[in-house]
Amino acid sequence: MTKRDALLFLFVGVLILGTGVVQSWNSALFILNYGLISAVMALGVNMQWGYAGLFNVGVMGFTALGGLGAVLVAMPPVRAAWSAGGLGVLGALALGLAVIVGAIWLWRTMPRGRLRGVGLLVWLVAGFFLYRALFDPAVRAIEAVDPAATGYLGGLGLPVLLGWPVGAALAAGAAWIIGKTALGLRSDYLAIATLGIAEIVIAILKNEDWLSRGVKNVIGVPRPVPYEVDLQQNADFLALAGRLGLDPVTASTIAVKLAYAGLFAAILLMLLWLAQNALHSPWGRMMRAIRDNETAAEAMGKDVTRRHLQVFILGSAICGLAGAMMVTYDSQLTPSSYQPLRYTFLIWVMVIVGGSGNNFGAVLGGFLIWFLWVQVEPMGMALMQVITSGMADGSALKAHLMDSVAHMRLLTMGVVLLLVLRFNPRGLIPER
């Protein structure tokens, strides 16, 4: 890190502290915590794009899978639902997997020819109907169990921190499937395939009520840190708050956010340390060599497609981890809140503005762009008020402009990305 980089980080720190002084410490900590999560996501995307030049447009999908991981581990199991259809669903899923594995085996072992095609088709169709015959009644049974409160299988009831690696593993699994299909072909194909898987993951979360309660949302995901109400009952905490001159409610919300900040910062620092070591190891140099000249790297005996698959899975797993962290922080999973703009595009803006190929750049971009994302809306609102101040109250145009402020974010972020790509493509902290 050079002096300039340190100054940039200091600048972001001042921005966040300034929010605390001018607005409130609660919003400053909110920006800080989400900034930490965003920085983790940006690190993941930076591995794919910055180290290896892979274009992943499905960050949203991997993030959502990570969130699902946290829910599946941490939520208490719904015993009634398990006894109603748990085994049925698991059996159906196992059968589905077996059908796919069997199809691959058939494809590999049978001799080429019409028989193979027909056999495969019959196998898949029969497998599909068998799967649905097992799956549908089990799902109906599960979703009938107290649909207003549960109607899903629930999780394993384990500590939520265990859900973070599980979320990362889920994302890694999806990345493996995509990578196996689209890597080794044109670079655009990976982009299109990841775009597709992200939409499908969100569709599954929204529609498979037995798994994620769909649009009814999973709320009350257990926390790794104390609850505000408990803190407000705690005599020691109340004494501490009194000594600092804070009222207990504010003090408890700030304390909880600080605890999260510590947890997230520890994860981020650990990942940053690992990423830095990886980038400056022979492995990192090989990755960059592949990115800069695939043909030369292949001539040196490097298996380009395999290395790409490896780094793609790694990066996606980190996005999944960030997704699990986010669901834990929000303590809810709301499938309808996953928007490609917020979870894919914004992360890309972070990486490119921060400096692709540089881990510190990605982290800086994560904080800076997140800060702007939060603060641009009130600024845009103020700006629009100035612009429309000359217009008569109640005019249709004024009302329309005020309503449209929310869409300014899309425009601003798109313009920021294009400007940076054009005039400063190496970003704030360039690769060294």
Binding interface with another protein (CB under 8 A) = 53, 55, 57, 128, 136, 181-182, 185-189, 191-193, 195-197, 199-200, 203, 206-207, 340-341, 345, 348, 352, 403-404, 407-415, 417-418, 421-422
Residue 219 per-residue DSSP state: E
What residues are paired with 154 via a beta bridge? 77
Residue with smaller CB distance to another protein, 216 or 409: 409
Secondary structure of residue 223 in the 3-state scheme: coil
Minimum distance of another protein from residue 303's CB (angstroms): 18
Cα gap 281→259, rounded to integer Å: 33
Minimum distance of another protein from residue 14's CB (angstroms): 29
Query: What phi, psi does 68 have (nearest 5°)?
Result: -60, -40
Minimum distance of another protein from residue 15's CB (angstroms): 24
Residue with smaller CB distance to another protein, 74 or 420: 420
Minimum distance of another protein from residue 141's CB (angstroms): 16
Minimum distance of another protein from residue 120's CB (angstroms): 12
Residue with smaller CB distance to another protein, 186 or 243: 186
Secondary structure of residue 397 in the 3-state scheme: helix
CA 131 vs CA 128, 144, 183, 211, 309: distances in Å: 5, 20, 30, 17, 30
Residue with smaller CB distance to another protein, 74 or 413: 413
DSSP per-residue string spanning 27-89? HHHHHHHHHHHHHHHHHHHHIIIIIT------HHHHHHHHHHHHHHHHSPB-HHHIIIIIHHH
Residue 123 near residue 103 (C-beta atoms within 8 A)? yes
Residue with smaller CB distance to another protein, 175 or 256: 175
Residue with smaller CB distance to another protein, 202 or 268: 202
Minimum distance of another protein from residue 405's CB (angstroms): 9
Cα gap 166→155, rounded to integer Å: 12
CB 195: neighbour CB atoms within 10 A? 17
26 class by beta-carbon count within 10 Å (0-12 exposed, 13-18 middle, 19+ buried): middle
Residue with smaller CB distance to another protein, 225 or 417: 417
Minimum distance of another protein from residue 233's CB (angstroms): 44
CA 328 vs CA 71, 139, 159, 263, 390: distances in Å: 8, 26, 11, 11, 46
Residue with smaller CB distance to another protein, 102 or 165: 102
CB 164: neighbour CB atoms within 10 A? 24
Residue with smaller CB distance to another protein, 285 or 407: 407
Farthest-apart Cα atoms in the chain, separation: 82
Query: What phi, psi does 333 have (nearest 5°)?
Result: -115, 115
Residue with smaller CB distance to another protein, 187 or 337: 187
Minimum distance of another protein from residue 162's CB (angstroms): 30
Cα gap 4→1, rounded to integer Å: 8
Minimum distance of another protein from residue 410's CB (angstroms): 3
Minimum distance of another protein from residue 72's CB (angstroms): 21
Cα gap 45→54, rounded to integer Å: 9
Contacts of 407 (CB under 8 A, 6+ apart): none
